[in-house]
Chain A
């Protein structure tokens, strides 16, 4: 396994753990718990600090020796990340449109007016993009590995 692939695995597991921590902190069962602005800010700081710790080793490795194949894989992974963001934003837009159309007949779906819900959704979108990028790196390195 190549160093960048190992770094991607490490980051994927690290970001997975941070997202699990965020979800555990923000939810109770299937519902998003109510949180004050101060609590949201504390959660934001905790996630940013943990994400920085997780991302630092991988970015040090990525800055090290690499060649055109490493750059091509990174570019492809960023492209997939961008597609994931576009899909996530479009899903959110459709959710907003659907809520607008269905207003009045009992709110179902995501409560986008609630700051904790919006906070969790936006973080989930950021994590989704990162998961897609890291998974792409792992799959691309794995696919180019010679067998036998």
Chain B
């Protein structure tokens, strides 16, 4: 039976990118079709955005997706590569 993957966590550096771009949370929210509260929750990593919203945010910063978002799989990939 396939092993159930450990619960991962989507991390992001939106706050840095946003501040570099000189945008407020409201302006970023308006640009990507989200509310300011959602941007706040994403920046605080309390809410993992959908793929669509994540791509919109990365595109708004004209940055590669993986420069803005990363995935912490709880050390699963590390343990797999060792086995």
Question: B-contacting residues of A (Cβ < 8 Å)?
Answer: 2, 65-70, 143-147
Contacts and interface: CB of A to CB of B under 8 A. Distances in A.
Contacts of B40: 145-146
Contacts of A144: 41, 46-47
Contacts, number: 36
Nearest to B46: A144
Contact of B46 (A2, A70, A146): A146
Interface of B: 33-35, 37-38, 40-41, 43-44, 46-47, 49-50, 52-53
Q: Name A's interface SS.
A: loop
Contact of B34 (A68, A143, A145, A147): A68
Given A69-B41, A144-B41, A144-B47, 8 more contacts: A67-B33, A67-B53, A68-B38, A69-B35, A69-B38, A69-B47, A70-B38, A147-B44
B51 to A, nearest CB: 11
A65 B34 CA distance: 9
Contact of A67 (B38, B43, B44, B46): B38
30 contacts: A2-B37, A65-B35, A66-B35, A67-B33, A67-B34, A67-B35, A67-B38, A67-B53, A68-B38, A68-B49, A68-B50, A68-B52, A68-B53, A69-B34, A69-B35, A69-B38, A69-B41, A69-B47, A69-B49, A70-B35, A70-B38, A143-B46, A144-B46, A144-B47, A145-B46, A146-B40, A146-B41, A146-B43, A146-B44, A147-B44
